[in-house]
Amino acid sequence: MSRARPAAKGARAPAYGPGNAPGTAPGHVPVMLREVLELLAPRKGAIYVDGTLGAGGYSRALLEAAECTVWAIDRDPEAIARGRDLAERYPNRLRLIEGCFGDMDRLLQARGGGAVDGVAFDLGVSSLQLDRPERGFSFQHDGPLDMRMSAPGGTPQPTAADVVNNLPEAELADLIRRYGEERQARRVASAIVAARRDKAITRTGELADIVRRVVRRGAAGRDPATRTFQAIRIYVNDEIGELRRGLGAAERLLAPGGCLVVVSFHSLEDRTVKAFIKERSGASAGTTRHRPAPPRPSPRPTFEPAAGTPREPTAEECATNPRARSARLRAARRTEAPAWNSAPKELSP
């Protein structure tokens, strides 16, 4: 079993940038790929986990950069199906797993896997899911109000239509405020409840129109439905809970020196990752260089924040890949301390 080590000082990341990662799906551009590879420092014999396979951009870049092994996980059967062609090009080096990355340690162990040298997450909905109206993620294209990241036919899971048509108004307002950070959450929830009294809301276009009637378009031109759709999607897929479970699983899987890299796209995700790294690195609230934290009993810190992080995409990448504009990358390196028994803390609403 290989053991991770930080990238050598002065080492150069593979020359992949926005739009030129080899073999990525047409129209898909992996976000902050250069920075992810620089931190993971792929090398011969190392083992990595791509916790969010999606279109395969991170997995392929790792496999192209070094004779390494990648365990690629995705809860969407369609992503796993797309990944099979890639797995055939890298026999015995790309290993596909259909499942949730929050279970990655158990998923790997069930297949004979052990400690790994790096874990990468590219959070949120993929562009390939957004571009398919029948999946129900997009307010720009009318489709069934679904939003399940696991494709229909798997484990029973409420759809977005189930949520908007059945939740009490107060709960609906709370989830729109919490997960969408929508200031007009009460107005949106009230409008949804009023509309569903006449008939069930079953289409993305219907929900988007309801929201647009009560929320004004932002100064930056953002569609008024953006935050509500984000909130419902996060709720339907338990994305924040899954992220917390995934961070804990990565802590258990990573070998000493192994690197955790997370690319997030909205503040709730980013705050969750920030809080995890801060907690697991032994930092405490209110600590400064003038007022250091008092000696801390066990458990010992399991991570050290990676130098030069957090990072944001370059202006060049944002210009060529609009999806990168809201991205934030955080990374940390695993220490030799044993994983904590406790789950990562849940953020207050």
CATH superfamily of 132-237: Putative methyltransferase TM0872, insert domain (1.10.150.170)
Task: Give the Cα separation of 58 and 52 in Å (integer).
Answer: 9
pLDDT in tens, 271-286: 999 999 999 999 864 4
pLDDT average, residue stretch 89-102: 96
Specify the pLDDT at position 139.
78
Q: Which pLDDT band holds residue 292 (cuts at 50, 70, 90)? A: low
Q: Which of 15-29, 128-142, 292-306 has the lowest mean pLDDT?
A: 15-29
Architecture of the CATH domain 33-128+239-334: 3-Layer(aba) Sandwich (3.40)
Please name the residue that has the structure tokens 């896997």.
113
pTM metric for this prediction: 0.86
Specify the pLDDT at position 144.
93
The residue with greater pLDDT, 323 or 248, is 248
Q: Which pLDDT band holds residue 21 (cuts at 50, 70, 90)? A: very low
Q: Are 242 and 101 in contact (CB under 8 A)?
A: yes
Task: Give the Cα separation of 273 and 243 in Å (integer).
Answer: 8
Within 8 A by CB and 6+ apart from 209, the residues are none
Mean predicted lDDT score pLDDT of the chain: 86
Please report, for the chain, the start and end positions of each structural domain, with discontinuous segments joined by +. 33-128+239-334, 132-237
